[in-house]
Structure 1
Amino acid sequence: MTSTTSPTPNHQTISPAIFYWGTPVVLITTENPDQTFNIAPMSSAWWLGNRCMLGLGAISHTTINLLRTKQCVLNLASDSMAGSVNALARTTGSAEILTAQPDEGYKYFKRMNGYDRITTMNIPEDYDPTGVQHYDIPSFLFNTGRRLPVRIAYRSFNSALRRVVCIPTPEHSHINTTYNYTLNALRDYHVIVVATLGNGESSSPSNTLDFPQPVYQDCVSASYELLTKHFNIQDLEAVVGYGMGGQQAYYWMCMRPGFVKSAVVICGSARTSPFNHMLLDGIAATMGGSAVDTMDKAGLNGTGPHGYGKVTCAWSTSSAWFKDESFRTILGHETLPEFIEEYNNAFRDWNAADLLALVRMWQLGDVGALRDDGSYLKALEDITGRVLVIASRTDSYFSPEDSAIELKHLKFGKLEILETIWGHAAGSGVCEEDMERICKMIAAFLGEK
């Protein structure tokens, strides 16, 4: 409230003052005994002095949680959430509520979080939220034909600059763990880092009940809406991506040819090769289920034990990296088991369902899916913009040989090969020397007329 009205003879000042929010619905989130979350809509909420008054039923699940934990979070629902709020109105997290009869249209959910896409993020202990913002799309059309509300997480750097570059997050990365080049190659650009669907920041299996398996087409479409409707961007100077972000860069060039001028693909490909596909199947198998039935195997908001780090540890670098004992000479670990344990622990707070969703999307990567004939090579031939492909000589996932084949079908393509022992990880930012070379390649490419 920015102003108050002086009392008139017809008004009486009361103490303490009452502040009514003026919004019809408040969403109250409480923690369940199993550390999941319950979300409930309510219309009776106002401030009386320094106390918040909540009109709750004595035996509601929210009340039970409040009495146990002595805390809650209140959020004001936006207009775009009307459909989701209405869906929540006839649900209950308490099996004992006598009024919640099936014949009256009520439903019981043990975990209310995620019902009809109103969610909370499963936040890792070391998660860095600095600068991260969210954009809601009330009715997003997935590639499968389903329409659902989705939330896109992003971070904007150098927003006053005119030329814009989009960076999709790669596999098992969050926004602030994605190399953004804003201190070097892209310091003269407005850089927008967008969280890939399924990474736990944007809408994902861990924060959205019954979340469909996303594909790269969904990521590009959601990001396009963010850029055009939220930022009012007319075109992109480039999409710069590493790994799964690099695959998205190819999709951008195929799906939005008049919107994106160029792409930088770092340790990525236009199609996931059969060998790459099989490596990913092995990763999925170690996590308790195949990538094909990801959504059926993993539960909402459960991190759980999984071996993602152990199985990706070797594939991320190279045999030469291990032969040189780089885990000891560069990273400072005394033994190989010590390094493997630390690497695996880096993923302990990642939700298994999110990781599997990303693995499956990676497997499905193929720009040929955008064509009726399914030819990814013809899809590459149709690209009219400039493409810089940066491959690592020792990348086990995306080989430089595959990149060379793809380059032959690009009208305006350029291939740079990194001579490195860091394998796929060479494009992640972990090796300073490799990143210096990558930055020079990007700067030179974007500086060309």
Structure 2
Amino acid sequence: MTGPDASYEVHEIPEFTLECGATLRPARIAYQTYGELNADRSNLILYPTWYSGRHWDNEWLIGEGMALDPSRWFIVVPNMLGNGLSSSPSNTPPPWDRARFPRINVRDNVASQHRLVTEVFGVESLPLVLGWSMGAGQTYQWAVSHPEMVQRMLPFCGSPRTAPHNQVFLDSLRAALTASVGFDGGWYPPDDWPVGGLRAFARIYAGWGFSQAFYWDEVWRELGHTSLEDFAVGFWEGFFLDGRDPNNLLTMLDTWWNGDVGKTPGFSSTEEALGSIRAKAIVMPAEKDLYFPPEDEEWAVSHMRDAELRVIPGVWGHFAGGGANPVDTAFIDAAVKELLDR
């Protein structure tokens, strides 16, 4: 594995026009690769990042002896636009810097990733696209936007359309950041973030990322925390104070809020877009996920041609897909292996 200190690659697209009408000159797509592309370019697996995640945060599902084994597969992890590594408010020069950074939707991310896999690697077919959370949303969008390319898909703990209850949660996060002392409409100094807003943001997140049962059973002790407050500060506040710029968070939040494969040009509804997917799919919600409950993904699967619903059991909620629990990791890895063997 490489980790956060390893070098990574960047693909520059000289002029990349977003659906909102703005053009990034250039757009920068940061990515990491694992393994080697084979001679016929048939082994590239795409594994996009998630909300605020960076490429190294996906490495828990990649490794020798796992389904995503770099000795067999060439795994490419592209960083989402807005995550601080790819083009983002925090790293784009004026006039599109900071609070002026344009709106990004899921299709913009997929379009930039399509440029990456076709222009850099010359790949026209993908054995598998998979991802957690917003990575799952990108997985669905890939299968809708490029059905001729995506052979298999495995979205876990994510959805093809952001539900109204999920949007209410996201609105509360936005309010916590934008109302913070020092936010200044997003024009805070680059070296003086509105920390109070980030800490409030983290406390809201703490009630959603894991399930009620996770807290009732004090499962946070398995992560090395000694009290509920120790977990809230050490895990959640530490998570969002670790290099996560507020403007970047707001850009990705807007992408999440507006996620819907039904908005893809040529489709009149989410149901119609889901029905266009050709890929073989295993859709994996977590049993107690508060963002993406299993019944929502059961609805999605009912509109797909060749999809199976497989629920991740247990109390870890949304973070069943985050790599923190070895039992959930083994469950997801087994599904990836099964899907690739089909």
Task: Give yes or no for TM over 0.5.
Answer: yes
Structure 1 residue 326 and structure 2 residue 326: aligned? no
Alignment counterpart, residue 167 of structure 1, candidates 43, 47, 65: 47
Confirm or deny: 8 A CA contact 1:168 1:193 kept in the other structure.
Answer: yes
Confirm or deny: 8 A CA contact 1:168 1:194 kept in the other structure.
Answer: yes
* Structure 1 counterpart of 2:130: 240
Alignment counterpart, residue 364 of structure 1, candidates 250, 254, 258: 258
Aligned pairs, number? 318
Structure 1 residues 261 and 211: alpha-carbon distance in aligned structure 2, compared to 1, 3 A threshold: same
* Structure 2 counterpart of 1:260: 150
SS of equivalent to 1:156? strand
**Consecutive unaligned residues in structure 1, runs of 5 or more:** 1-126
**2:108 counterpart letter in structure 1:** D
By how many angstroms is 1:371 displaced?
4.3
Name the structure, 1 or 2, with higher relative contact order (CA <8 Å, separation 6+): 2
More strand by share: 1
Confirm or deny: 8 A CA contact 2:49 2:55 kept in the other structure.
Answer: yes
* Structure 2 counterpart of 1:153: 30
More helix by share: 2
Aligned pairs for 1:325-344 within 5 A: 325-328=218-221, 330-343=222-235, 344=237
Distance in 1 between the 2:231 and 2:133 partners?
23
Aligned pairs for 1:52-63 within 5 A: none
Structure 1 residues 438 and 282: alpha-carbon distance in aligned structure 2, compared to 1, 3 A threshold: same
**1:297 counterpart letter in structure 2:** G
Confirm or deny: 8 A CA contact 1:205 1:295 kept in the other structure.
Answer: no
SS of equivalent to 2:225? coil
Distance in 2 between the 1:174 and 1:258 partners?
28
Deviations 1:63-112 (A, max 9, x none): xxxxxxxxxxxxxxxxxxxxxxxxxxxxxxxxxxxxxxxxxxxxxxxxxx
Q: RMSD of the alignment, in Å? A: 1.9
Deviations 1:358-411 (A, max 9, x none): 111101000111145641011101112222101101000001000001111000
Structure 1 residues 325 and 445: alpha-carbon distance in aligned structure 2, compared to 1, 3 A threshold: same
Structure 1 residues 178 and 299: alpha-carbon distance in aligned structure 2, compared to 1, 3 A threshold: farther
Structure 1 residues 440 and 304: alpha-carbon distance in aligned structure 2, compared to 1, 3 A threshold: same
Distance in 1 between the 2:127 and 2:143 partners?
12
**Consecutive unaligned residues in structure 2, runs of 5 or more:** none
Moved over 6 A (4+): none
Deviations 1:269-294 (A, max 9, x none): 1100111111111111111259xxx9
Alignment counterpart, residue 312 of structure 1, candidates 205, 208, 226: 205
- Report percent identity of matched pairs: 30
Structure 1 residues 373 and 151: alpha-carbon distance in aligned structure 2, compared to 1, 3 A threshold: closer
Aligned pairs for 1:17-36 within 5 A: none
Structure 1 residues 171 and 240: alpha-carbon distance in aligned structure 2, compared to 1, 3 A threshold: same
* Structure 2 counterpart of 1:45: none
Confirm or deny: 8 A CA contact 1:180 1:193 kept in the other structure.
Answer: no
By how many angstroms is 1:134 displaced?
0.8
SS of equivalent to 2:85? coil
Confirm or deny: 8 A CA contact 2:167 2:257 kept in the other structure.
Answer: yes
SS of equivalent to 1:353? helix
Distance in 1 between the 2:114 and 2:267 partners?
25
